[in-house]
Structure 1
């Protein structure tokens, strides 16, 4: 799993530079240093409101401003995907535009419902990908990255958490470490009671067919209700009408009696196709060329567009195969695009085995954020009910 995880070319698949060994301290980063956090509550940092406009059937609308919540009920701890173009096998601790862009694209809006915590960690780089393909042992790369993840989370728990509920958010390579974090720090431990949910798409979470627990996690269940807490949201995305090919990196379970978990953020516990509340990045890079004309009016006037109902999603599970099927509610007579981006490209070629990997976090982003708000409220309500039930009768009158 670790070897495959380092092949996640999430934000760029451009040719990597030469492959020097990883540099920097051997031990974990120092998370008492605020420079080793991309986002902390109350700062003007990477979690500032992204530049966004509405996109509706009539074309571009007004600006969309996401305001940080004044007193959010929960904390969100985010691990970004493979983005670093640093020359080593692990990224350094000086975040570049790649890491900041990942936060803006995938996570910044969560500050409207939770306190944002985003550590800089020495993730496996694009340079590491080529070396792993050439036979490099990935374990030191994984161990260094996870060492930073674990150290940052423990620093957060000791200095920032103060018993607050926690949402884990991640994507792709970040999800590989989030799974490890959930197993080592949460599952079967007292901290599990503080888990609101874990939003961990872009990598395989496996469950026995027809079940919501077992497989990747022993006891953490998939989310199946809007008011459920302590649960997992996981999926890998493919375009409607295209399912994972036989040799797909994502989409097929490792055992014949298991399947890939799919939890539709817009319809937890359902396989129905439903419209999504999406935030799409309007820029481009080597792996996601600008091939979408967002409106017949011309170029988008902002870095992001907010599109309600343009995309739709349904969970599909059959046999070992499981995925979130992303569709487009196309209307050739309105101003809005009839396509959405999401596949990974290299020059003119599409990496079919990755599906709509680049849309995992953005196609249902509005739905995910609302889900976190509902789950956080449910967690707080459950805690209040438990506290009242634990008090002596004389104190509850």
Structure 2
């Protein structure tokens, strides 16, 4: 198996997680140093610090972009032998995953719609979900405190009243939901929201009061969400978390329940190549069921039931074009 295939499986499937983690009691004295978001070193990506490989996805449009993208990456600290509850933002191994996996495979889809901001944060270990009542809650609260502080700094230092696309995945969506609740829902800032893309966690319509699920491709001011599984499969554990969750069609962006191969615009594989017409999907209650994608290592993907790690890059070109369409729509309505 190629090393580059790692991204497709780096987010361990929650349904397969067992309580075999090495762990420790959550203690204040073990908390990593708090980031200072007034410093560039506390950000994985700022518009003036794009890595060369990320610049390629911006298509030389950076200076002309009129919107911003605030992206919160998923859980990347997953080793069952790692007893830390939260990763420090100076962790070189984790930061390499942030920049060269999550940012390249996920945030890149939005690089032609807005200037991208990605804060480093003291992400909670994956076990914070299954061990939520045994230290996980405190770990996730700590992680969110960073994301919240980073967003406050972004608003004060960088935003300048520009429209915003909010993006999260998995743990990133856990935190982005709270950002939307704290800063946008029933708040004046909602007027600046182009769209929120928040896949990888079960999101219910009543999680928000004034932010609504978007059901048309150019709709703005609301959110979209989905969770991708192999066709015919359901979560093995926590079987009720997905039922009733918002399930956006990430190919048509409307209420269509099924798609054909020729509708799929492109899956970004970790070799940097796009594969269009690679999959078909079916919308079920809370899940997007996908066929096994057609790409060089599809044989290995056939062993997976949950396509969690591919929630964004499986639909990378579809998302890229949709984010551009929503941004243009918002600008036309507000300029």
User: TM-score if structure 2 supplies the norm length?
Assistant: 0.82
Q: Do structure 1's residue 264 and structure 2's residue 257 form an aligned pair?
A: no
Indicate the residue corresponding to 2:71 in structure 1: 78
Shift of 1:142: 1.7
Structure 1 residue matching 2:54: 3-state secondary structure: coil
Q: Greater share of strand residues, 1 or 2?
A: 1
1:77-129 superposed Cα distances (whole Å, 9 cap, x missing partner): 00011102565211101153222222122213422221000000111024656
CA distance in 1, matches of 2:309, 2:240: 14
Indicate the residue corresponding to 1:5 in structure 2: none
1:316 to 1:127, Cα distance in 2 relative to 1, 3 A: closer
Indicate the residue corresponding to 1:90 in structure 2: 86
1:372 to 1:307, Cα distance in 2 relative to 1, 3 A: same
CA distance in 2, matches of 1:145, 1:329: 33
CA distance in 1, matches of 2:169, 2:52: 17
Shift of 1:19: 4.0
1:246 to 1:43, Cα distance in 2 relative to 1, 3 A: closer
Structure 2 residue matching 1:48: 3-state secondary structure: helix
Shift of 1:337: 4.3
Tell me how many residue pairs correspond in the alignment. Answer: 308
1:145 to 1:47, Cα distance in 2 relative to 1, 3 A: farther
CA distance in 2, matches of 1:170, 1:113: 16
CA distance in 1, matches of 2:58, 2:123: 28
Indicate the residue corresponding to 2:231 in structure 1: 240
CA distance in 2, matches of 1:83, 1:249: 25
Of residues 369-378 and 13-22 in structure 1, the stretch that sits farther from structure 2 once superposed is 13-22
Shift of 1:12: 4.8
For residues 151-166 of structure 1, what are the structure 2 equivalents within 5 Å? 151-166=149-164
Indicate the residue corresponding to 1:273 in structure 2: 259
Indicate the residue corresponding to 1:148 in structure 2: 146
1:356 to 1:115, Cα distance in 2 relative to 1, 3 A: same
CA distance in 2, matches of 1:342, 1:129: 24
Shift of 1:181: 0.7
CA distance in 2, matches of 1:106, 1:340: 23
- Rg larger in 1 or in 2? 1
Asked if the contact 1:236/1:262 (under 8 Å) is kept, the reply is: yes
Q: Greater share of helix residues, 1 or 2?
A: 2
For residues 291-370 of structure 1, what are the structure 2 equivalents within 5 Å? 303-317=271-285, 322-328=286-292, 337=296, 339=298, 355-370=306-321
Shift of 1:149: 0.6
Shift of 1:218: 1.6
User: TM-score if structure 1 supplies the norm length?
Assistant: 0.70
1:235-256 superposed Cα distances (whole Å, 9 cap, x missing partner): 111112324457437522xxxx
Q: Do structure 1's residue 23 and structure 2's residue 23 form an aligned pair?
A: no
CA distance in 1, matches of 2:209, 2:10: 28
For residues 1-397 of structure 1, what are the structure 2 equivalents within 5 Å? 11-12=11-12, 19=24, 21=27, 22-25=30-33, 28-45=34-51, 48-49=54-55, 67-69=59-61, 70-84=63-77, 87-95=83-91, 96-100=95-99, 101-126=101-126, 128=128, 132=131, 136-207=134-205, 215-245=206-236, 247-248=238-239, 250-252=241-243, 259-269=244-254, 270-274=256-260, 275-282=263-270, 303-317=271-285, 322-328=286-292, 337=296, 339=298, 355-384=306-335
Shift of 1:377: 0.7
Shift of 1:268: 1.6
Asked if the contact 1:16/1:126 (under 8 Å) is kept, the reply is: no
Unaligned runs of 5+ in 1: 1-8, 51-64, 208-214, 253-258, 283-302, 331-335, 385-397
CA distance in 2, matches of 1:341, 1:184: 41
Asked if the contact 1:234/1:263 (under 8 Å) is kept, the reply is: yes
Shift of 1:76: 0.6
Structure 1 residue matching 2:253: 3-state secondary structure: coil
RMSD over aligned Cα, in angstroms? Answer: 2.9
Asked if the contact 1:171/1:203 (under 8 Å) is kept, the reply is: yes
Asked if the contact 1:121/1:145 (under 8 Å) is kept, the reply is: yes
